[in-house]
């Protein structure tokens, strides 16, 4: 596989294809090796080829959770949602926190009495993405109790006053069934047509905080919030150096504001001489409420794949997401939009393209977009 990667980097497509064919023949009856190869090929930007390998691995070892989870990711990347969600139960690792209260699993049916417990899982970005389904459940008349990350509780309560909230250790009370958030798409998003074309925000920022930040940053120019790195396990692939954003930051008709979580002094030092406002009063790691209000105060957000883009999407704030060539499953393949969030637009690296070239390629369009919006995002603070 290392040789194939070198051949890819050198543009030797035919030689690379021959190398991969030899590797596939060598592991054709080894489920573990096929899964690993499928994941590597997916990371090289060929999800359809990766799916074939992961499907072969699952056929050889149907109970292998790693193979099932890998096949699920390839299916979701390719927009084959129903098949992907049906395999997604394999996502659970032994050490993953579960909030099982011993209630029956909810499968979408109306309950004559009692409430459905919907409990959070995975990271905060995944949780925000899955909460986009909650307004639909509320509108359908289901009575929900949600166990969410405490950092999101206030924003969710503002957006969904009909929902009750549950804390770990609470008595079951009127709860009659349960479902983890990551299983909701299996019931509600089996085809792309199941995604609404225009979704209402599922988070609402604190209006007073948003107004204070907007007033503090405003100088007559459109406000563009930027974020450039993540602490995720895939940080090396997703993150970019701040200097790569220089073509956008250097537009004097925009006021660029850091939405990057972390220590403000360190971020200011990282910015160096770049024209970027770093607010010392905001740290998204210590206060999600401040982070949401700051995102809601922007006219446009430009960010790599981290929690910032999920906040923007869930608030309904226009956002352009800078993605690596082989992005993870939620961003699918070769699309400029994504069905989960109507306000997001995807800007993808070409194969082998450095981040600074991606930004340079889109800087003019991004600046024009921000200047055309130029009216703030008050809707992100309204029900």
4-8 — which CB contacts under 8 Å span 24+ positions?
4/44, 5/44, 8/44, 8/351
The predicted structure's pLDDT at residue 98: 79
The predicted structure's pLDDT at residue 22: 63
Residues in the chain predicted with pLDDT less than 70, given as ranges, are: 1-27, 94-95, 172, 374-383
The predicted structure's pLDDT at residue 101: 85
The predicted structure's pLDDT at residue 16: 56
The predicted structure's pLDDT at residue 337: 95
The predicted structure's pLDDT at residue 320: 97
The predicted structure's pLDDT at residue 233: 72
Q: Mapping DSSP to helix (H, G, I), strand (E, B) and coil, where does residue 223 land?
A: strand
| Residue-wise pLDDT tens digits, 242-282 | 999 999 999 999 999 999 998 899 999 999 889 999 999 99
The predicted structure's pLDDT at residue 23: 63
The predicted structure's pLDDT at residue 236: 85
The predicted structure's pLDDT at residue 379: 42
The predicted structure's pLDDT at residue 69: 95
CA distance 93 to 171: 26
């Amino acid at each position: 596989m290392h040789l194939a990667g070198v051949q890819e980097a050198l543009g030797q497509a035919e030689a690379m294809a021959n190398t991969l064919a030899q590797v596939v023949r060598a592991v054709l009856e080894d489920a573990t090796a096929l899964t690993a190869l499928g994941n590597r090929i997916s990371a090289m930007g060929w999800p359809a080829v990766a799916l074939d390998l992961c499907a072969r691995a699952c056929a050889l070892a149907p109970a292998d959770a790693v193979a099932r989870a890998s096949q699920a990711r390839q299916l979701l990347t390719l927009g084959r949602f129903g098949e992907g969600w049906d395999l997604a139960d394999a996502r659970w690792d032994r050490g993953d926190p579960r909030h099982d209260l011993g209630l029956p699993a909810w499968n979408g049916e109306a309950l004559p009495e009692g409430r459905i417990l919907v409990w959070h899982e995975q990271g905060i970005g995944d949780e925000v993405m899955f909460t986009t389904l909650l307004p639909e459940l509320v509108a359908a008349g289901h009575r929900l109790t949600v166990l969410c990350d405490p950092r999101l509780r206030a924003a969710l309560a503002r957006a969904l006053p009909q929902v009750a909230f549950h804390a770990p250790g609470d008595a079951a009370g009127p709860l009659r069934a349960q479902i983890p958030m990551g299983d909701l798409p299996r019931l509600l998003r089996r085809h792309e047509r199941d995604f609404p074309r225009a979704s209402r925000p599922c988070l609402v920022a604190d209006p007073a905080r948003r107004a204070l930040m907007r007033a503090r940053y405003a100088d007559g120019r459109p406000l563009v919030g930027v974020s450039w790195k993540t602490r995720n396990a895939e940080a090396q692939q997703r993150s970019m150096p701040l200097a790569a954003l220089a073509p956008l930051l250097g537009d004097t008709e925009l006021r660029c504001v850091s939405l990057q979580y972390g220590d403000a002094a360190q971020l200011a030092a990282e910015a160096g001489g770049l024209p970027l406002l770093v607010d010392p009063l905001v740290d998204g790691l210590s206060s999600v409420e401040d982070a949401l209000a700051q995102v809601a105060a922007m006219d446009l957000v430009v960010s790599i794949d981290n929690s910032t883009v999920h906040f923007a999407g869930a608030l309904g704030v226009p956002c352009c997401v800078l993605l690596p060539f082989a992005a993870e499953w939620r961003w699918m393949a070769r699309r400029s939009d994504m069905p989960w969030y109507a306000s997001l637009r995807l800007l993808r690296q070409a194969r082998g393209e450095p981040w600074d070239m991606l930004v340079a390629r889109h800087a003019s369009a991004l600046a024009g977009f921000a200047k055309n919006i130029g009216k703030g995002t008050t809707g992100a603070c309204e029900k």
